Structure 1
Amino acid sequence: MVKKKLMMLVSLMLVLSVFLAACSKDKEKVEGVEKEKPDSEKIEEVENTEELSFPVDVSNKDAVLEDGELVYALVTDDPFKGTLSPVFYDDTHDATILSFFSESLLAGDGDYLITNDGAATYDISNENKTITIKIKDGVKWHDGEPVKASDLLYAYEIIGHPDYTASGYVFPTNNISGMTAYHEGKADTISGITVSDDDRTIAITFEAPSPSILSGVATDPVPRHYLGDVTKGEITIEEIEGSDKIRTKPIGFGPYKVKKVIPGEAVQYERFDDYWRGKPNLKSIVLKVVNSATILEALKKGEVDIAGFPTDQYLNAKDVDQFELLGKIGFTYTYIGFNLGEWDKKNKTSIMNPKSKSADKRIRQAMWHAMNNEVVGKEMYHGLRVPATTLIPPALGFHDAENKGRSFDPEKAKELLDEAGLIDVNNDGFREDADGNELIINFLSMSGGEVAEPLAKWYMQNWNDVGLKVQLLDGRLHEMQAFYDMIDTDRPDIDIFMGAWVAGTDPDPSDIYGRESFNNFSRYTSEKNDELLKAGTSEKAFDVEYRRDIYNQWQEMMVEEVSLAPTLYRHDLKAVNKRVTNYSIDPGSPNSDIWMWGVTK
């Protein structure tokens, strides 16, 4: 699978992504926010929140009902985008939709390392620079055609194509021998990829060996025969991306086929009887969008069977009889991002702007120290979220638990702002910039969710308290697609933005924070960042302790530089109707595979 920002939802994945922290409509600018902390007496607190724990498997062990049907809720307040292709999708909602009908050739284990248990097997050779993948017998596309090695080659030909603009061209894909020349239009083929005569085996050779091959190699094929061939001029990249064949009539080789798509609203799946693993348990699945405000009632009524559950409704759901809650600290972390530059489309690299309002890292450090994330986690999210410390979440084995990040310390924040020359010149309660001019920080955030409005106001009040005048961009919150459009186009009047990343299964963070990654939305760059990211994927990094040390250094550097200020790690909750069986959110469990899911009545 293409290792993107959303790895969690595709394998839980995988997600991840990208789901962004939500905020609902707020008509007031920061000047209109009362300079008082929210009345915490009105928010029910949860004691001993550090002891919260949840099962990862359903309790129902009854026999699977033959030809059962299941309804899966995509909990969102916006329509899904519907770019249903593993090489073009760009958010967690589409990733979830894909997971029912599309899959990678290579499976992963509980540590997110590739195995031979999937639709193909692999071998590593050539001093760890070549991976050879052989497709097993009986692996078919939903239209009955065999899945070929050349279909995986086609995925790479699309991702590496000069006209490709989605976010799949990241490491280790861009480390494939000959990929750079192909991507720059200097070669018609990718020299590092060869396909066997029987079209069952593909060998991919990389410029340099890297442990990311074992956790981040992309093995999602694309049906060349169905979409048309870009390399022969039959269709363009733009035409594929807008085609009904990836919007409303996509095919894959996963356990369920797409029967019908109601754009933005629902997807109906039917069982793929020729699935390579065997006959899936369920006859059909319906995935439908359910508003976060109504999901609890839908679960109580049995209208949906499985749903990602909003943590802000936890207190109302934890004792409901109709379903059970599964949960674990996941890959997601929310953050405050800073607009530090722009994306150079021609050279495909981030460029920092020294005139950015937050160009001085002391301002970014101060804004992190000013945020009281512990209150948010305990009172707004009932203990289901905890203050984040680094940009590698605890779900990954390379999280530095010794690094405490930047704690809530408003006095330290004030000191840093003073040092940066941000002083309240006219005694109006707000600081001017280093040149003595009025400083207004425009804050972009997304609409949706019950906690969102108080969350946005809370952070604005936190910054207000240390003398920073922060106001919502355009005086309001923005729906999800508009939010992404503004981020993707580097709208210049965005100063800070609130979002979330779902980290990939590969611990390499370069696809979010690398100089040449479009997903580096803050546009932060530095030679030290380049050096550490390169070292973390080098041949030496096959030594786990060496790699751990590199990523500890990287986390420490980012706590100092604050290209993003991480705010919260979270429990990922799934609400599951008690009629569901063979379901798990543990990536090491066979019941995490969708074809195993079933119902008992």
Structure 2
Amino acid sequence: MTKASWSKALFALMLVLLLALAACNGGSEESEGSGSEGSGEGSGSEKSEDGLYSIDDFSTEKTNEGEAIEGGELNYGIVTDTAFEGTLNYNFYSGAPDAEIIAWFDEPLLSWDENYIYTNDGAATYKTSDDGRVFTFTIGDNVNWHDGEPVTAEDWAFAHEVIGDPEYPGVRYGEDFTNIEGMEEYHNGEADSISGIEVVDEKTLKITYKKATPSLLTGSIWAYALPKHIFKDIPVADMIDSPEVRENPIGMGPFKVESIVPGESVTMVKNEDYYKGEPKLDKVTVKVINPSTVVQALETGEVDTVDSFPVDQYPDNADMSNVEFLGTTDKAYTYIGFKLGTWDKEAKEVKPDDSKKMADVNLRKAMWHAVDNNAVGEKFYNGLRWNATTLIPPSHPEFHDTENPGLEYDPEKANQILDDAGYEDVNDDGFRETPDGEELVINFASMSGGDTAEPLANYYIQSWETVGLNVQLLDGRLQEFNTFYDRVGQNGDDDPEVDIYQGAWTVGNDISPDGLYGRDALFNFSRYASEENDKFIEEGLSEESFDIEHRKEVYNEWQQFMVEEVPVFPTLYRSVLVPVNNRVQNYSIALDWAPRYHEISVNSEEAQTAE
């Protein structure tokens, strides 16, 4: 690709994404404006006549009230019914609660805009070669680790070396890394260094990729450094459990870790030397808040805000007087996954197994047809979650196929599919046996958390029972967060007792499905792989896919392909609701918000309490 064509492709990508987002947000300016002008007392969405809410009626920007004081402390809640794991480094973490904590004290070297495209406004800038394969990164001179040492090109290269090491214990290694020249040879022990990574000088790093892909502009560059002066003497296999990750984590972000109560809270103080300027707050405490007590924690001012408010609790608390509710469409969906294989630890790829209980696509299709997710969204979430149709959510309007209905609720069709496939009740116990006449009991893993977790799992079980399928909760109970992900395979160990599971994914800025459904993706918990899927993923990352229309066509076809194959099926798209105490200023949940934690301030020492 010539320099001119590369520049043209980049411009076209930015333009189309901008227009797509503008079209998606059309008509929302008025509602966002009214949210900004509100009093902050329970600001949010008005319930419609049918008792439902719309995420389109919420603002993403907090209203500022009064004048900010100097300093102050913010209390931030992570809503979960389990302890956070405590893997507090971007290069090693796997759970969302840990990511929420890390974001306060560390950050990527590259920033992005509201269209998910990398910019040159962050801690590092970048330039590309004529063919779009070589990226040259320059880290700012004033970007330092919390111990005062500069963040260097060596640190950035070191992060790649650790993740590419054959002893690396984390979950990051995949196609984003194997696309770097020499990475696979290094990973396989055939080379002592990564030929495609060059440290030019203290602040300049050059990375050569095997192929130019549109994903390089929107998320597949690993933008997180690892302080080599701290980790260089720690064996790679031991890094994830080291005190440098678990007890004394370090970053380059606006706040510095002061103390940790394992699994419960992390207290941070401001980083006065933060490269974007001294933070306005003196201190931030991030703590775990149980979903059952989150309302009380907000009303009493125990926390000023939380990562995400349980939307099923919103109707009863929409008028909470001491907070303003912000909201947006989440980059996420919940889904039902079918176990179709295992993870090959040696090959580091999915190993499909046709003998698996859920291997029959007819059984999987019938289970999708049997559930009414429109009803789930309305009954459990008052419209703040809604029926999902494909595996690319509407948070990415340029690629979400609005014309694809997925497999619609149709229990009669589900029954017919099962009948035709030979699943019959041969012993008159009310449940279907396999086509071979053997008992069919499907073990369902679902997570605990919040008031809706158990009734929602029971709803799905009852829906499948209606079409004659005997689905039972794994171990007869809901699974705690960390246990759930261990059993579905986040460490590469797939529990053979799990047949199906209910999970959720937050998708990345880049919409390529490779990281969740690729053959070499550890997060591909269904363990599905096929040559057809490989081709779709490859084509979506091809040079031809710099043409946005071509990439949209590829991903529309992939969305339909996954509807037909059903290794998983999406259940609900999600909104994010974030209540923010009235004393808090300069708070936002907009897409490009993450780099701006240093701007948050408060107008009083104590949080407001509910009337």
TM-score by length of 2: 0.88
Where do residues 323-342 of structure 1 align in structure 2 (5 Å cutoff)? 323-342=323-342
Secondary structure of 1:100 counterpart: helix
8 Å contact kept, 2:170–2:240: no
**Cross-structure match for 1:457:** 458
Query: Pick from 89, 96, 100: which aligns with 2:93?
Result: 89
Secondary structure of 2:214 counterpart: coil
User: Once the 2 structures are TM-superposed, how far is the Cα of residue 416 of structure 1 from its aligned partner?
Assistant: 1.2
Distance 1:490 1:270 in 2: 40
**Cross-structure match for 2:430:** 429
8 Å contact kept, 2:141–2:203: no
Q: Please say if 1:297 is aligned against 2:296.
A: yes
Where do residues 237-386 of structure 1 align in structure 2 (5 Å cutoff)? 237-307=236-306, 308-386=308-386
User: Once the 2 structures are TM-superposed, how far is the Cα of residue 374 of structure 1 from its aligned partner?
Assistant: 1.2
Letter in 2 for 1:368: W
Q: Deviations over 1:55-74 (max 9, x none)?
A: 11111254332112100001
Distance 1:369 1:53 in 2: 31
Query: Pick from 587, 593, 598: which aligns with 1:595?
Result: 598
Q: Deviations over 1:275-308 (max 9, x none)?
A: 0011111110011111110110110111110112
8 Å contact kept, 2:92–2:240: yes
Distance 1:52 1:162 in 2: 46
Distance 2:381 2:468 in 1: 27
Where do residues 225-244 of structure 1 align in structure 2 (5 Å cutoff)? 225-227=229-231, 229=232, 234-244=233-243
Where do residues 61-76 of structure 1 align in structure 2 (5 Å cutoff)? 61-76=65-80
Letter in 1 for 2:502: M
Q: Please say if 1:218 is aligned against 2:222.
A: yes
Letter in 1 for 2:148: G
CA spacing shift, 1:61–1:548, aligned 2, 3 Å: farther
8 Å contact kept, 1:46–1:382: no
Q: Please say if 1:401 is aligned against 2:402.
A: yes
8 Å contact kept, 2:169–2:240: no
8 Å contact kept, 2:65–2:582: no
**Cross-structure match for 1:99:** 103
Q: Please say if 1:201 is aligned against 2:201.
A: no
User: Once the 2 structures are TM-superposed, how far is the Cα of residue 215 of structure 1 from its aligned partner?
Assistant: 1.0
User: Once the 2 structures are TM-superposed, how far is the Cα of residue 592 of structure 1 from its aligned partner?
Assistant: 6.3
Distance 1:588 1:510 in 2: 23
Q: Deviations over 1:339-360 (max 9, x none)?
A: 1010111111111111111111
**Cross-structure match for 2:14:** none
8 Å contact kept, 1:49–1:378: no
8 Å contact kept, 2:55–2:384: no
8 Å contact kept, 2:88–2:98: yes
Runs of 4+ in 1 over 6 A off after TM superposition: none
Q: Which has the higher contact order (CA 8 A, sep 6+)?
A: 1
Distance 1:48 1:445 in 2: 26
Q: Please say if 1:190 is aligned against 2:194.
A: yes
8 Å contact kept, 1:330–1:572: yes
Secondary structure of 2:382 counterpart: coil
**Cross-structure match for 1:572:** 576
Distance 2:301 2:421 in 1: 56
**Structure 2: unaligned runs, 5 residues or longer:** 1-47, 605-611
Q: Deviations over 1:62-100 (max 9, x none)?
A: 433211210000111100001011110001101100100
Letter in 1 for 2:545: A
8 Å contact kept, 1:46–1:378: no
8 Å contact kept, 1:306–1:575: yes
Tell me how many residue pairs correspond in the alignment: 551
User: Once the 2 structures are TM-superposed, how far is the Cα of residue 588 of structure 1 from its aligned partner?
Assistant: 3.8
Letter in 1 for 2:328: K
Distance 1:196 1:64 in 2: 44
8 Å contact kept, 2:175–2:520: no
Where do residues 382-531 of structure 1 align in structure 2 (5 Å cutoff)? 382-396=382-396, 397-488=398-489, 489-531=493-535
Distance 2:52 2:94 in 1: 37
User: Once the 2 structures are TM-superposed, how far is the Cα of residue 562 of structure 1 from its aligned partner?
Assistant: 0.6
Query: Pick from 559, 563, 574: which aligns with 2:567?
Result: 563
Distance 1:250 1:282 in 2: 20
Distance 1:585 1:429 in 2: 49
8 Å contact kept, 2:169–2:237: no
User: Once the 2 structures are TM-superposed, how far is the Cα of residue 584 of structure 1 from its aligned partner?
Assistant: 0.7
Distance 1:124 1:513 in 2: 29
**Cross-structure match for 1:35:** none
**Structure 1: unaligned runs, 5 residues or longer:** 1-43
Distance 1:238 1:157 in 2: 13
Distance 1:166 1:419 in 2: 44
8 Å contact kept, 2:517–2:524: yes
Distance 2:391 2:277 in 1: 40
Q: Deviations over 1:190-212 (max 9, x none)?
A: 00000113x11001100011111
TM-score by length of 1: 0.90
8 Å contact kept, 1:584–1:592: no
Secondary structure of 1:316 counterpart: coil
Distance 1:51 1:177 in 2: 44
**Cross-structure match for 1:57:** 61
User: Once the 2 structures are TM-superposed, how far is the Cα of residue 45 of structure 1 from its aligned partner?
Assistant: 9.4
Distance 2:140 2:381 in 1: 46
Letter in 2 for 1:562: V
User: Once the 2 structures are TM-superposed, how far is the Cα of residue 448 of structure 1 from its aligned partner?
Assistant: 2.0
8 Å contact kept, 1:271–1:280: yes
Distance 1:52 1:383 in 2: 11
Q: Please say if 1:136 is aligned against 2:140.
A: yes
Letter in 2 for 1:330: D
Q: Deviations over 1:313-353 (max 9, x none)?
A: 11121111110111111111001110101011111111111
CA spacing shift, 1:290–1:45, aligned 2, 3 Å: farther
Secondary structure of 2:292 counterpart: coil
Q: Deviations over 1:350-391 (max 9, x none)?
A: 111111111111111110110111111101111110000000
Q: Deviations over 1:515-538 (max 9, x none)?
A: 111111001011110000001111
Q: Deviations over 1:379-438 (max 9, x none)?
A: 111111000000011101311111111111101111111122111112221100010111
Q: Deviations over 1:172-220 (max 9, x none)?
A: 22200000101111111000000113x1100110001111111111111
8 Å contact kept, 1:45–1:378: no
CA spacing shift, 1:55–1:161, aligned 2, 3 Å: same
Q: Deviations over 1:475-521 (max 9, x none)?
A: 11221111111112111121100110000111111011001111110
Distance 1:106 1:350 in 2: 31
Secondary structure of 2:57 counterpart: coil
CA spacing shift, 1:171–1:370, aligned 2, 3 Å: same
Secondary structure of 1:285 counterpart: strand
Q: Please say if 1:118 is aligned against 2:122.
A: yes
Distance 2:249 2:280 in 1: 22
Letter in 1 for 2:207: I
Worse-matched range after superposition: 165-174 or 212-221 = 165-174
